[in-house]
Every structure is written in structure tokens, then in C-alpha cells.
Structure 1
Amino acid sequence: MFKGLGGIGDMAKMMKAAQEMQGKMAKLQEDLANTMVTGESGAGLVKATATAKGTLTGLEIDPSIFNAEEKEVVEDLILAAIKDAQEKAMEKTQEETRKMTEDMGLPAGMNLPV
């Protein structure tokens, strides 16, 4: 009639796996918030530092580029460094998420919310 309660055991395994995944995702979120990436522009004249989650935490500008006549160039370099840091943050997040899904035996390319 109930065929040995096999479905309940499978459900318990699924619940345990879901809890493990939730714990691993929380750990990944914490790790990404503490991992720093640095983007650069102008051959390192401007550097932007961000967490791997994309939060900008620092901006370093070489004083040699401060020239009132070059204001637009400086602004472009700052934006380029920030964009580079954001791209590196996204790449790091994707890399760490991919590693986690592989470690858990999930299909490659499975998009987990991070």
C-alpha cells in the first residue's frame, strides 16, 4: 500500500541537501563580502577596490594625473577603474559559485542566486 515509506526517506535526504546548500550559500555570501578585487585604468594610475559582491571600498589616484585641463580624462579613468573592479567582482562571484555547484554535484551552468 505505501511501498515501504521510501518517499519519506527521499524527502528527508532532499531537505538535508537543501539545508546544506543554504549553509554553503550563506558561507559563499560571507566569503564574497570579504574578498577584495582591484580594477585599474590608465596603466595603474587609477585603482578601484571593491568586494567580490561589487561594493566599492576604495579609490586610489596617482597625483600625477591631477591637472585642471585634464579633468574629463581623470573622470574617465576613474569610471574605467570602477567598471574594471565591478567586472572582476562579477567574475569572482561566478567562479566561486561555479566551484560550489561542482563540489555539490549540481549540473554545470546551474544559476544559483548569489
Structure 2
Amino acid sequence: MDFLKMMKQAKQMQEKMGDLQSAVSELSVEGVSGAGMITVTLNGKGEMTGLKIDPSLIKADESGVLEDLILAAHNDAKAKGEALVQERTQELMSGMGLPAGMKLPM
């Protein structure tokens, strides 16, 4: 493989990684707990962008339950987001002819 071809492929990979990072930042995933009573929305970077709480859960003497449900919903959303990012990364890598399982820095 000649050097110019390798440089062209490296530039294409860099552009695709930039596209992937932009796409990831625009992702939105929801995590749910308590049979839908708590919903947490995260962006592709894992930052919480939304929180919905069923009013029936807001009771002063049950704050521990509410806290646990929020954490569970957040963890659900985070796991979904990580899986989606991994899926998108694998799609990108397969289109570039890179070996399966190769980790790209993100």
C-alpha cells in the first residue's frame, strides 16, 4: 500500500470520526424505572437533559424510594446510550474496513 493512499484513508477516517462524534452528541436516550413512573433523558455524552416524575411518587416520607428510582432510570438511559454509541461506532468501522473489535478513541 503506498503512502499517499494510506494518508487519504487516514483523512477519511478522521472525517468519519468527526461525523460520528457530532452524531453522538445529538443522540437522545430515555431510561425508565418504576414501571414508567420515572423517565430520565440523556444526550449522547451522558448528560441528563430531562427528568419526569409521576406526581404520585412525590411524598416527603418516601424520598428514598424516589431517589432509588431516579438512579435506576439514569442507569437504564446510560446503558442504552452506551450501547447505541457502540453500535454506531461498529457501523462506522465496518464501512472503513477496520478489523472487528478495534477500539477507536472517543
TM-score by length of 2: 0.95
The offset of 1:73, in angstroms, is: 0.2
Aligned with 1:57 (options 40, 49, 52): 49
SS in 2 for 1:77: helix
2:79 aligned counterpart, secondary structure:
helix
1:78 aligns with 2:70: yes
1:23-54 superposed Cα distances (whole Å, 9 cap, x missing partner)? 00000000010010001111111111011221
Task: Identify the residue that residue 36 of structure 1 maps to in structure 2.
Answer: 28
User: RMSD of aligned C-alpha atoms?
Assistant: 1.0
Q: Distance in 2 between matches of 1:14 and 1:72?
A: 56
Corresponding position of 1:4: none
Separation in 2, partners of 1:110, 1:87: 21
Residue by residue over 1:39-96, the C-alpha shift from the partner in whole angstroms, topping out at 9 and shown as x without a partner, is 1111111111011221211111111111112110000001111111111111111000
Q: Does the Cα contact within 8 Å between 1:53 and 1:93 map onto a contact in 2?
A: no
List, as ranges, runs of 4+ consecutive aligned residues in structure 1 with deviation greater than 4 Å: none
Question: Structure 2 regions of 5+ residues with no counterpart?
Answer: none
Unaligned stretches of 5+ residues in structure 1: 1-6
Contact 1:102 1:108 in 2 (8 A): yes
- Alignment match, 1:95: 87
Please say which of residues 55-64 and 73-82 is displaced more in the overlay: 55-64
d(CA) in 2 for partners of 1:37, 1:70 = 27
Structure 1 residue 106 corresponds to structure 2 residue 98:
yes
> Identity across aligned pairs (percent)?
50
- Aligned equivalent of 2:59: 67
SS in 1 for 2:105: coil
| Matched residues, number | 106
SS of residue in 2 equivalent to 1:94:
helix
1:65 maps to a residue whose letter is: L
The structure with the largest alpha-carbon Rg is 1
